[in-house]
Chain A
Amino acid sequence: MSKILGLGNEFPQFEKTAVVSLEKGKEFSTITSESFKNDEDKWTVMFWWPKDFTFVCPTEIAEFNNKYEEFRDRDTTLIGASTDSEFVHAAWRRDHDDLRGLKFPMLADTSKSLADELGILEENEKVAYRATFIIDPQGIIRWVSAYDLNVGRSVDEVIRVLDALQTDELCPCNWEKGEDTIAA
């Protein structure tokens, strides 16, 4: 039984290669967990899929890409990930019409160490569940959703949750007597 890393946990440290472009010589870049914890109020959304070159995945990944600007507007870094290697990622991106223009990095957890630490590795096939993590600027996991291998997810729901987690109503007109002052 896998135990998914949950709310309030610090996101595990990692350093992985990701595909960031299709341009020759600029395909790969290193992504580390270091930027997750930052002073610029940047949030992170990391979403996982089981395998490249399957049918449900590109629809879902394209949907995240369509809504990329929504994440940008919310000062949120979007990262896609699976346990495939960076070379498989690059080949899939080149191969599929909906994936060529991806605006976010595709992270390669080839050793499966990160998926394992996150507790999202499916036991039989050793591939990642369709898990989504929202990580706050302190590097803490604030929301997790995980679906079985064949269930697609709603990107709008991720955005809705992000809106709810990020502070609004900082305005003092909403303070009520006796409440702690807001430390923003």
Chain B
Amino acid sequence: MEETLEVKNDLLNDLGLPSTESYKTLNILEDGNSRYIKDLRINLKNALKSNNLSDEEINLLGIALSSNVKNRSLTHYFTSTAKELGTTEDKIAEAVACASLLSSNNVLYRFRHFVGKDEYKKQPARIKMNIMMKLVVGKEFFELLSLAISAVNGCEMCVNAHEDSLIKMGTSEARIFDSIRLASVINSADRIFWN
């Protein structure tokens, strides 16, 4: 029990969250003396270091992914870490914009894919994507952000399209999978850090 509390506090500390902060599901894990707190801490630590992504990229992915699921604590953590690393505000804004834009695209294209009728493919999408014309984070990284968000939001067509376009740009599968691992772990953390 004592050790579980110790790990819980270390986990909060890793994410720059005060130990006084009360998270409903985290408290349930603590009360049940769950070993999962250790697993979650290891998963986060491992996903947040990568040989294929820079620290800035990791935090920008974190901003996009945590804002995609509207997680206040995690968005705050990744935004402040990015700023400490010297990441500019326009890049941070682009990560947030990407999460929002892709959330609309994921619904629209998933619908087209689900139904599979030509009629819906003919009709224009009418969704503005002008931010993609001039990107501060670069085309490849924006594509990587789009892929990670699409994987979380579960749009098969979008996942296939972004993965394919990344491979054609020369992105390694190791780099792609590191961002997907990060997406999956942030998604699991989102289930724990909310109140």
Q: Which of A72, A73, A74, A75 has the most CB of B within 10 A?
A: A73
Shortest beta-carbon distance from B26 to chain A in Å: 16
Cβ of B46: which chain A residues have Cβ within 8 Å of it? 163
Q: Are B7 and A163 in contact (CB under 8 A)?
A: no
Interface string of A28-69 (1 = CB under 8 A from B): 000000000000000000000000000000000000000001
Q: Are A163 and B42 in contact (CB under 8 A)?
A: yes
Q: Are A72 and B42 in contact (CB under 8 A)?
A: no
- Closest residue of chain A to B37 (Cβ to Cβ) is A73
Can you identify 18 A-B contacts, CB atoms within 8 angstroms?
A: A69-B7, A69-B10, A70-B42, A70-B45, A72-B3, A72-B6, A72-B7, A72-B38, A73-B7, A73-B38, A73-B41, A73-B42, A74-B38, A74-B42, A75-B35, A75-B38, A163-B42, A163-B46
Cα A75 to Cα B7 in complex, Å, equals: 12
Cβ of B10: which chain A residues have Cβ within 8 Å of it? 69
Shortest beta-carbon distance from A65 to chain B in Å: 15
Cα A157 to Cα B181 in complex, Å, equals: 21
- Closest residue of chain B to A160 (Cβ to Cβ) is B46
Shortest beta-carbon distance from A92 to chain B in Å: 27
Give residues 1-25 of B contacting A (CB, 8 Å).
3, 6-7, 10
Cα A163 to Cα B45 in complex, Å, equals: 12
Cβ of B3: which chain A residues have Cβ within 8 Å of it? 72
Cβ of B45: which chain A residues have Cβ within 8 Å of it? 70
Cβ of A72: which chain B residues have Cβ within 8 Å of it? 3, 6-7, 38
Shortest beta-carbon distance from B177 to chain A in Å: 14
Shortest beta-carbon distance from B77 to chain A in Å: 19
Cα A72 to Cα B35 in complex, Å, equals: 11
